[in-house]
Chains A and B, each alone.
Chain A
Amino acid sequence: MSINRYKITKTISSIFVHTFLMAVAMTCLFPFIWMFRSALMTNQTIFVDKGLIPSTIHFQNFYLAWTKGGFGMYFINSVVYTVCVVFGIVLISSLAAYAFSRLKFPGSNFLFYMFLAAMMIPLPGSFVPLYVLMNKLHLVNTRIGYILCMINVGLSLSIYIMKTFFDKMPSALEDAARIDGCSKLGIWLHVALPLARPAIAVVVIFNTLNVWNEYILAMLLLNDKSLMPLQRGLMVFQGTHSVDYPLLMAGLTITVAPVVLVYLFMQKHIIKGLTAGAVG
């Protein structure tokens, strides 16, 4: 095979791959562009104006959405909730998943399957007993109550993801650390967690989106406006009957930005697993 021919086949296949990737990428980008351009329009033009670039641009929609939706306070609340819940989930689920994957203790299988089952059985009416319970514990209308509930929501899935990755990882490094006299907790912290960075990144990405977009539990458990998360601000634009689409789109653009940023930051760790793996 001549080098030329090799090069040609490689170029052709690369063109083919890029066309495919580009086509998929376009379908993903389009709604974003549409959302952004809609945020610059007025309710009158949003469904009439066919062009992607609006004829008149209303940047003030972003400002209006921010002030009208009362985003300032909600934004801070959402950041607090997301940070606490995601941190809590990563800590608790990585501890549990590590134990399920590496440590031996009676009932470990049973407990793991219990978590799995929880992921599967939807409890449609559970908001009633949950609310009654939270009320008894004086956790209704408190930040900590909401945070604990949200940790529980993401826990099963996160344990499952982490365990799958721990199972897949070679345990040679951990064995070496054990021989060196590291404690179990030390191994978990210094050996297992750094190796599981891609899995942690996945768990962070999943849960961040989940908490950031959550409003159902927030509406149920929180009473005061001052405790509400960001999604409460978006509700203002979706009236019982009328919807203020441009402000809603502006609000959605604002709320989506942090999630994308977290993803930008975390997905590097998914890839960094590459170098970590190579070192090991």
Chain B
Amino acid sequence: MGCSQGNQANVVNIWHWMTDRQEVFVELAEQYKEQTGIEVNFELYAPSDEYSKKIVAAAQARVLPDIYGILGEKKKRAAFINSGFVADLTESFNASEGAWEKSLFEKALNVNRFKEDNIYNVKPGIYGVPIDVTNIQMLYNKDLLTKAGIKGYPKTFAQFIKNISTLNRIGIEGLVSGWGETWMVDCFASNYAFNIMGEEKIMATYRGEVPYTDEDWIKVFNIFKVLRKNNALAKGIVAKGNKYAEQDFALGRAAFAFNGSWCVNVYNDMNQDLNYGVMLPPVINEERPMSIWGGAGSSFVVNGISENKQQAIDFLKWLTAKDQQAFLSKKTKNLPANRYALSAIPEILSQFASAMDETTHPSIWKYNENPLVSETFDKGIQSIIIGEKTPEEVAQAVQEVKVREIEKVKKRSMRQ
């Protein structure tokens, strides 16, 4: 059997972590072999943390496979690219008047794109191929809302809070989400930061020009205080992994959930009768549209030093073509990355898809926050939710870490 060290011609090796897609991948690989005679070998390594370790170790030993995926923030992708482990695909995307590029959703492609003057010093270009699209929104349980006599779903935050107290009165919990996972807290807060102050000011904060003690950031922190005071969050939310939160929503234990488009598949597995709809998080600032996180769900990159580079690219081109994308989307209930494959998807998924224009994502921002500051930020929000700290105290604490980290970077650049 082929492995990374072998340089057999006509074999493309792929490493990935997507447990739920292995079967479909293997099916597609068989189709591809029939059509082209080229063998594609999907090897699955899970859970994703262990997969990431394997990629890191294999990079150091220079034995990465022809195609693999990088999990993690933009900085990590940049490090892989700058070390020569990832091939620049810009030319292939641009070939024949950019046909490949045009067939994919721009938002999905942007996650893999490095622009001019990016802060990571990566040569501008496209370095990865998205295979699906995802975004994170709110969901509401239609039956529970009807039971409480609520028509439609809340569009503004004030309405949302009012609905919650109606629901609470008949013993139904409000919002559930996997806020034991810090990135989900981060995502929720980021949505409202965009709604309250807009991208410019957020980026200025990341650059260190606006402090977290600014009144707009206090407003963001304050949301969680309001949620707490109005008993809007499911009990124990800060210690819940998303899998448990998904269980709660699927079993009708809470009226609202904050979750990604993958949930369609998850809820369907657990409760086929769940009657729910998709909504944007209710706005606080009605003058600005709501921004949600979205973009490529998973992406593949091509090994920069692979001898099968061209064959690998050809396969990825085939994998993201319309028919294959429709097949993947249908089988795994994910949104396709190919815009022409968007036809035959379930109603609820197309509701998710329709919000793609509202999406943004940390990996397309010009600046990203230092991870230690983000951690303090997310954990600070958790401590507001459990009533341990006030928004002002958390803002102060985050700002302190921010100042310290800026100093550290300054010191380091002075030393060099």
Give A residues with C-beta under 8 Å from B: 43-44, 47-48, 127-128, 130-132, 135, 140-141, 215-216, 219-220, 223-226, 235-236, 238-244
Q: Is the CB of B270 within 8 A of A47?
A: yes
User: How many Å lie between the Cα of A223 and that of B43 in the bound state?
Assistant: 7
Residue numbers in B under 8 Å from A219 (CB-CB): 45-46, 50-51, 53-54
Residue numbers in B under 8 Å from A239 (CB-CB): 19-20
Q: Quick check: is B401 within 8 A (CB to CB) of the other chain? A: no
Tell me which of A128, A141, A238, A242 has the highest count of chain B C-beta atoms within 10 A of its own C-beta.
A242
Q: Is the CB of B272 within 8 A of A44?
A: yes
Residue numbers in B under 8 Å from A235 (CB-CB): 19, 44, 46-47
Task: Pick the residue among A47, A128, A135, A240 that contacts B63 (CB under 8 A).
Answer: A135
**B272: nearest chain-A partner, CB-CB:** A44
A98 to chain B, nearest CB (A): 36
Q: Given A236-B19, A238-B19, A240-B17, is A131 in contact with B45 using a C-beta cutoff of 8 Å?
A: no
Residue numbers in B under 8 Å from A220 (CB-CB): 50, 53-54, 57
Q: Which 6 A-B pairs have the closest CB atoms?
A: A239-B20, A131-B57, A135-B61, A241-B262, A235-B46, A242-B266
User: How many Å lie between the Cα of A44 and that of B251 in the bound state?
Assistant: 9
Q: Quick check: is B226 within 8 A (CB to CB) of the other chain? A: no
**A223: nearest chain-B partner, CB-CB:** B3
**A235: nearest chain-B partner, CB-CB:** B46
B174 to chain A, nearest CB (A): 20
User: How many Å lie between the Cα of A243 and that of B247 in the bound state?
Assistant: 10
Residue numbers in B under 8 Å from A132 (CB-CB): 57, 60-61
User: How many Å lie between the Cα of A128 and that of B247 in the bound state?
Assistant: 37
Residue numbers in A under 8 Å from B4 (CB-CB): 141, 223
Segment 303-356 of B: residues with Cβ below 8 Å from A: none
Segment 144-172 of B: residues with Cβ below 8 Å from A: none
Q: Given A128-B56, A242-B20, A242-B265, is A48 in contact with B46 using a C-beta cutoff of 8 Å?
A: no
Q: Is the CB of B60 within 8 A of A238?
A: no
Q: Given A241-B262, A242-B265, A242-B269, is A225 in contact with B43 using a C-beta cutoff of 8 Å?
A: yes
User: How many Å lie between the Cα of A239 and that of B45 in the bound state?
Assistant: 11
Q: Is the CB of B58 within 8 A of A131?
A: yes
Tell me which of A127, A131, A235, A239 has the highest count of chain B C-beta atoms within 10 A of its own C-beta.
A239
Q: Quick check: is B118 within 8 A (CB to CB) of the other chain? A: no
Residue numbers in B under 8 Å from A238 (CB-CB): 19, 46-47
User: How many Å lie between the Cα of A232 and that of B45 in the bound state?
Assistant: 8
Q: Quick check: is B22 within 8 A (CB to CB) of the other chain? A: yes
Residue numbers in A under 8 Å from B50 (CB-CB): 215-216, 219-220
Q: Quick check: is B243 within 8 A (CB to CB) of the other chain? A: yes
Task: Pick the residue among A141, A236, A244 that contacts B22 (CB under 8 A).
Answer: A236
Residue numbers in B under 8 Å from A240 (CB-CB): 17-20, 46, 48, 262
User: How many Å lie between the Cα of A236 and that of B45 in the bound state?
Assistant: 10
User: How many Å lie between the Cα of A47 and that of B48 in the bound state?
Assistant: 26
Q: Quick check: is B364 within 8 A (CB to CB) of the other chain? A: no
Q: Is the CB of B243 within 8 A of A243?
A: yes
**Please, what's the 1-or-0 string for B237-253, where 1 marks a CB less than 8 Å from any CB in chain A?**
00000010001000100
User: How many Å lie between the Cα of A168 and that of B98 in the bound state?
Assistant: 77
Query: Given A43-B269, A132-B61, 12 other A-B contacts at CB below 8 A?
Result: A131-B57, A132-B57, A140-B61, A216-B50, A224-B1, A224-B3, A225-B43, A225-B44, A240-B19, A242-B20, A242-B269, A243-B243
Segment 346-403 of B: residues with Cβ below 8 Å from A: none
Q: Is the CB of A127 within 8 A of B53?
A: yes
Q: Quick check: is B227 within 8 A (CB to CB) of the other chain? A: no
B265 to chain A, nearest CB (A): 5
Q: Quick check: is B263 within 8 A (CB to CB) of the other chain? A: yes
B49 to chain A, nearest CB (A): 9
Residue numbers in A under 8 Å from B43 (CB-CB): 223-225
Residue numbers in A under 8 Å from B22 (CB-CB): 236
Residue numbers in B under 8 Å from A44 (CB-CB): 270-272
Residue numbers in B under 8 Å from A216 (CB-CB): 50
**B19: nearest chain-A partner, CB-CB:** A239
**B42: nearest chain-A partner, CB-CB:** A225
**Please, what's the 1-or-0 string for B260-281, where 1 marks a CB less than 8 Å from any CB in chain A?**
1011011001111000000000
User: How many Å lie between the Cα of A128 and that of B243 in the bound state?
Assistant: 30
Q: Given A238-B19, A240-B20, is A131 in contact with B266 using a C-beta cutoff of 8 Å?
A: no
Residue numbers in B under 8 Å from A135 (CB-CB): 61, 63
Task: Pick the residue among A48, A128, A241 that contacts B266 (CB under 8 A).
Answer: A241
B283 to chain A, nearest CB (A): 27
**A216: nearest chain-B partner, CB-CB:** B50
A150 to chain B, nearest CB (A): 16
Q: Is the CB of A127 within 8 A of B46?
A: no
**A48: nearest chain-B partner, CB-CB:** B251
Query: Could you write out 8 A-B pairs with CB less than 8 Å apart?
Result: A132-B61, A135-B61, A141-B3, A141-B5, A219-B51, A226-B1, A235-B44, A240-B262
User: How many Å lie between the Cα of A227 and that of B280 in the bound state?
Assistant: 46
User: How many Å lie between the Cα of A239 and that of B3 in the bound state?
Assistant: 24
A205 to chain B, nearest CB (A): 26
User: How many Å lie between the Cα of A12 and that of B186 in the bound state?
Assistant: 59
Residue numbers in B under 8 Å from A242 (CB-CB): 20, 262, 265-266, 269
A238 to chain B, nearest CB (A): 6
B343 to chain A, nearest CB (A): 24
User: How many Å lie between the Cα of A240 and that of B44 in the bound state?
Assistant: 12
Residue numbers in A under 8 Å from B3 (CB-CB): 141, 223-224
A54 to chain B, nearest CB (A): 16
Q: Given A132-B61, A135-B61, A223-B4, is A47 in contact with B251 using a C-beta cutoff of 8 Å?
A: yes
Residue numbers in A under 8 Å from B51 (CB-CB): 219
